[in-house]
Chains A and B, each alone.
Chain A
Amino acid sequence: MIAGGLALRYPMCGRVLIGLAVAVALGSLATAARAASADDFKAAYAKAQAVEQQAGALKNQWTTTEAELKAAQAAANAGNYDDAVKHAVEAEALANASITQAKEQATAWMQAVIR
Chain B
Amino acid sequence: MRRAILLAVAASAVLAQPVFAADTVNPPADFKAFRDYFTQRFAKVPLNDFVNGPYSMDENLRKQWVEIDAFPPYQFALDKGKQMFETPFKNGKSYADCFANKGIGIRQNYPYFDAKSGEVITLDVALNQCRQANGEEPYDYTKDDMAALTAYMAYTSRGKPFDIKIPDDPRALAAYRKGEEYFYTRRGQLNFSCASCHVQSAGDHIRTEVLAPALGLVAALPIYRSEWGGMGTTSRRFITCNSQVRGVPLKAEDEEYRDVEYFLSYMSNGLPISGPGARP
Contact = CB atoms under 8 A, between A and B. Distances in A.
**SS class, residues of chain A in contact with chain B:** helix
A115 B33 contact: yes
Interface in A59-115: 59-64, 66, 94, 97-98, 101-102, 105, 108-115
Interface string B160-191: 00000000000000000000110011111101
Contacts, number: 58
A110 B188 contact: no
Interface string A43-68: 00000000000000001111110100
B125 interface: no
Contacts of B30: 113-114
A61 B185 contact: no
Contact of A94 (B18, B187, B189, B199): B189
A60 B18 CA distance: 28
Contacts of A63: 188-189, 243, 246-248
Given A63-B243, A64-B189, A101-B191, A109 B181 contact: yes
B18 A115 contact: yes
B31 to A, nearest CB: 10
B247 to A, nearest CB: 6
Contacts of A105: 185-187
A60 B246 CA distance: 10
A105 B188 CA distance: 12
Interface string B191-214: 101010001100000000000000
Interface string B29-63: 01001100100000000000000000000000000
Contacts of B248: 61-63, 66
**Which of A97, A114, A115 has the most chain B CB atoms inside 10 A of its CB?**
A114
Size category, B interface: 20 to 34
A62 B23 contact: no
A109 B184 contact: yes
B5 interface: no
Contact of B186 (A64, A66, A109, A114): A109
Nearest to A102: B187
B189 A113 contact: no
A113 B180 contact: yes
A110 B26 CA distance: 13
Interface of B: 18, 21-23, 30, 33-34, 37, 180-181, 184-189, 191, 193, 195, 199-200, 243, 246-248, 250, 256
13 contacts: A59-B250, A60-B187, A62-B248, A63-B188, A63-B189, A63-B247, A94-B189, A101-B191, A105-B187, A109-B181, A110-B184, A112-B184, A112-B193
Given A62-B246, A109-B181, A113-B22, 14 more contacts: A60-B187, A60-B247, A61-B248, A62-B189, A64-B246, A66-B248, A101-B191, A102-B187, A105-B187, A110-B22, A112-B184, A112-B195, A114-B33, A115-B18
Interface of A: 59-64, 66, 94, 97-98, 101-102, 105, 108-115
Closest 6 CB pairs of A and B: A61-B248, A110-B22, A109-B184, A109-B185, A112-B184, A62-B189
